[in-house]
Structure 1
Amino acid sequence: MDVGEQPVAEPQPTKHAPVPTKKERRGTEVVGSVYRVPWVTRLGPRLGALERSAPLVTLFKSIIDPLAVAATLFVLAYLFEGEVSGFVFCVGVLAFLLAGYLLDGALLFLHRRQLWRELLLFAVGWGALIAAVVGIGWVSGVGDLIDRRLFITWAIVTPPVLLALHAAVSLLVQRSPYVEHRPQAAVIVGATQSGRALARAMATEPLLRLNFVGYFDDRAASRTGVAPESVLGKMSELAAYVESHNVRAIYITLPMTSQPRILALLDALRDTTASVYFVPDMFVFDLIQARFDHVGGIPVMSVCDSPFAGLSGLVKRASDVVLALLILALIWPVLLVIGAAVKLTSPGPMIFRQRRYGLDGQDIVVYKFRSMTVMEDGENIRQAVRNDQRLTPIGSFLRKTSLDELPQFINVLQGRMSIVGPRPHATAHNEQYRKLIKGYMVRHKVRPGITGWAQVNGFRGETDTLEKMEQRIAYDLDYLRNWSLWLDMQIVFKTAVAVLRDPAAY
């Protein structure tokens, strides 16, 4: 299951490009079923001239495609009904918000080997958008307010409109006289991990218009981990090579500790007309939502940030509130029955309140139906285990089916939790594991969730070893790296399936 950026095919070796080693191929890591593309690979399309597709892809994904989806609905409504009703307008706004997360803007500039894959992803995204709109209409009971002929026509007509729009812009850009169509010769200074990832990006993305020529590195070829023939010389020979071979782009991928060498290299390149780019060696960091920004005009780079900044945070919160209200409207009889059963089968309160870490590590109070005879909320809390003697007569059933978690939809409305996110641990467990697991507290950069990416991948229930908790945290951090509304929908669906057959629940 793909939940983030799509896997990039390995480049075919050329006479200039080195053959990636097995270790290099691990530059894109698989954790569970998450495919992570290295930060440098994602940065590659942003490192150059107008013809590179990433800014246009972002523009289409964020603005143009959602506007086209909504505008098509409004035009069809006017043709069918002579006006755009308030309900149709609301559907258009909903489609606009969903399109930015479910449709793939990378349909621009497709080459043949990617065409069918991207079209399939587009079809899946459009199908998910239609299903979401229909589902919300059905659950809310207002689906009959829109003309079915209008809705079906919109569902059929919009994909060709989007494809035609993408094709027209792609053709316009590729034929523009302001775009350089000949590939530029490019060299990389430093056969580092980020340098090798950048070389692979050049080989696999022809729209970058970069012809990778080779590396310059002061180390012996045997120590660089690349094919010896791909190392063109030492750094002191770079300036002469650039002048004699008409190299147009130079990418410096040396470690940050190499400042004196970098300054000397830049001084030697002053007599050339090549463009020089510095690529920080970001592989030394565990990146969470890495991106560039500016503060008062001063460029800064985010190394660890929340995925829910700006519009993403608004969409996440809106989806939480809407879904929580719909679910509570449907399950309130179940809540009453469970509450009564808890009170009748064991002494004590119906709701168990426990302190957990919430957004930014702040203390929050989380609600659960009481499933145990104890109310632990101190410095020492023992995790539930199989056949736990502390369980109430219906406690095991509540925990196995996750029905004890249902009151947390109220926490969602309060703004303390999200429907999908890292599961909150007891405060005592947080204090224990933050000292043992690197990056443990990063999971608290978002609101905790009723369900999470770790839980649907088998890490639900007791974590009786440090290794299990480490794996759970790894999934939580991957959720932060790869969040999308589509990923949240997949997790909700998988949760419904896992609850019924997960042996780890007790």
Structure 2
Amino acid sequence: MIVNKRTINIARLLSDLILLNVVFILAAVLAQSWDILLQRNYMFILLALLNFVWYFYTNLSGFYNDFFTRRFSTHFFNIVKSSVVQVLITIAFIFFVKEDLFTRNFIVYLGVFLTVAISIRTIIFKKSLKHLHKKGISVRNLIIVGAGETGNSFKETICDVPEFGYKFIGFVDDVNTDEKYLGNISELDKLLKTYQVDDVVIALAEEESSQLDEIIRVCNINAVKVHLIPDYFRFLSNRFTVNSIGSFPVITARDEPLEEASRRFIKRALDVFFSLFVIVFVFSWLFPIIAILIKLSSKGPVFYLQERVGVKDQRFKCYKFRTMKAENKKVEFQPVTEDDPRVTGIGKFLRRTNVDELPQFFNVLKGEMSVVGPRPHPIPFHNKYSEYFEAIKLRHNVKPGITGWAQVHGFRGDIPDEQENRKRTLQRIKYDLWYIENWSFKLDIQIIMMTIWQMITGKTNAV
């Protein structure tokens, strides 16, 4: 028997609703007693409300999506969020009806028990599915037509995640390029019968697509489910979307959450509030100290202004504390290297701890930067990096940040070796694009916390 993804998700939803009801009753009995619960029958209205909220919130938040590919840590975070929503609804209801018995203990029990119960259910489901698939139960036999780059990438995906429930049989192609080669496309009908195939994934290159009609016809005759991976799949990011315009299905190659005005508003609100907090409570007393130390270390201004590339390729003046000796005349831009003699004593400390970036909170307030985002490149660096990565302008779809996903993973600054620096730059840009495609309020908070920790420990990988 084959259990599909939809059936599993329905089973998860029903299990969670049952657990929600059991946990509610258990929390109420432990907080007071069964008799008191029956006396306050309006509490069952709350229970019904919580069931509706769980159903609609989990659908809106995608709680049951990507069950097979998400790690348990991600599942747990989503469980906590859903439990917090339940607790907030409970608090609002209790306040509205002026309930005086089912208060603190009941609310704590409900939140804790619900989080633990759903977490245990998630672990059991994952382990059970993995066990069933290892025994060959609820597994679909799959072959891939097309042994090119796309076909091999898809094979690795389904083999790396056995929870998908597919058993990879082999490749069908007119060219033998893999050890799992079964035969050529003209033999497809015989191969489908021989291996009792349930699913066929077509991953042919564009020049081979003329055979598509015949492949689908053979699969339909054998009642085999067909899945197509278009040849242009290689142009899509991990966050592509499928929409409809009229009667036409349209694939958007790159989906960016911050294209939505509501999400840009949330990010801007975080930028303003966090920047004001830093300027008022940190910068106000730290600035005089740093200014004095910079002046004592060498002659020159306290601040260093440098033109950088911002959102939509707009140029702006980026503020920093000066960390190098001031030049008397204008010289060609040279990147800072490790043990650079131009860096002052206090400058080394400022760069190592990222404190030299603090003035950029004024750029954030002006709307030129964000607290979190791809680091803005100086103009010479931007021109150089454009040779490494021709689609570098994708970074400029969002505001540059004081810190970013690449920086907290150690990709900050350049190194002298040209080849290694090229690899490092490409990796940094990939991290930036991943951030743009996967932005969330939670991710920004995570990056801010990681940055603060790295500043405290001095592990910023900066030069």
TM-score normalised according to structure 2 size = 0.65
What is the identity, as a one-letter code, of the residue corresponding to 1:355?
Answer: E
Report Cα offsets for 1:300-336 as digits up to 9, x if no partner. 3333453534366555444444433333332132344
Choose from 447, 450, 473 the match for 2:426. Answer: 473
Q: How does 1:395-406 map to 2 (within 5 A)?
A: 395-406=347-358
Choose from 277, 280, 286 the match for 1:326. Answer: 277
- Quote the residue 1:429 is aligned against: 381
- Quote the residue 1:238 is aligned against: 188
Query: How far apart in 1 are the matches of 2:311 and 2:227?
Result: 37
Query: How far apart in 1 are the matches of 2:331 and 2:250?
Result: 40
Q: Give the C-alpha shift of residue 449 in structure 1.
A: 1.9
Q: Tell me: CA distance 1:395–1:164, structure 2 relative to 1, closer, same or farther (3 Å).
A: closer
What is the identity, as a one-letter code, of the residue corresponding to 1:252?
Answer: I
2:303–2:319: 8 Å Cα contact kept in structure 1? Answer: yes
Q: Give the C-alpha shift of residue 489 in structure 1.
A: 4.3
What count of residue pairs does the alignment treat as equivalent?
392
Structure with the higher helix share, 1 or 2: 2
Q: Tell me: CA distance 1:471–1:307, structure 2 relative to 1, closer, same or farther (3 Å).
A: farther
What is the identity, as a one-letter code, of the residue corresponding to 2:399?
Answer: R
- Quote the residue 1:141 is aligned against: none
Identity %: 27
- Quote the residue 1:189 is aligned against: 145
Q: How does 1:51-62 map to 2 (within 5 A)?
A: 51=7
Q: Tell me: CA distance 1:352–1:252, structure 2 relative to 1, closer, same or farther (3 Å).
A: same
Query: How far apart in 1 are the matches of 2:392 and 2:11?
Result: 36
Query: How far apart in 1 are the matches of 2:244 and 2:164?
Result: 25
Query: How far apart in 1 are the matches of 2:144 and 2:401?
Result: 43
Q: Give the C-alpha shift of residue 385 in structure 1.
A: 3.4
Q: Give the C-alpha shift of residue 275 in structure 1.
A: 3.1
SS class of match (2:278): helix
SS class of match (2:258): coil
Q: Tell me: CA distance 1:148–1:424, structure 2 relative to 1, closer, same or farther (3 Å).
A: farther
Q: Tell me: CA distance 1:430–1:200, structure 2 relative to 1, closer, same or farther (3 Å).
A: closer
Residue 203 of structure 2 corresponds to residue 250 of structure 1: no
Query: How far apart in 1 are the matches of 2:329 and 2:257?
Result: 30
Query: How far apart in 2 are the matches of 1:402 and 1:421?
Result: 15
Query: How far apart in 2 are the matches of 1:422 and 1:356?
Result: 12
Q: Give the C-alpha shift of residue 159 in structure 1.
A: 0.5
Unaligned runs of 5+ in 2: 33-39, 41-53, 85-102, 127-136
- Quote the residue 1:19 is aligned against: none
Query: How far apart in 2 are the matches of 1:422 and 1:227?
Result: 42
CA RMSD of aligned residues (A): 5.0
Unaligned runs of 5+ in 1: 1-44, 83-95, 132-146, 171-180
Query: How far apart in 2 are the matches of 1:249 and 1:376?
Result: 71
- Quote the residue 2:458 is aligned against: 501
2:138–2:165: 8 Å Cα contact kept in structure 1? Answer: yes
Q: Give the C-alpha shift of residue 404 in structure 1.
A: 1.7
SS class of match (1:219): coil
Query: How far apart in 2 are the matches of 1:441 and 1:403?
Result: 28
2:172–2:188: 8 Å Cα contact kept in structure 1? Answer: yes
SS class of match (1:383): coil
- Quote the residue 2:131 is aligned against: none
Choose from 174, 186, 190 the match for 1:218. Answer: 174
Report Cα offsets for 1:385-443 as digits up to 9, x if no partner. 34545446743333333222111122223332222332212112201221234544433
Residue 154 of structure 2 corresponds to residue 198 of structure 1: yes
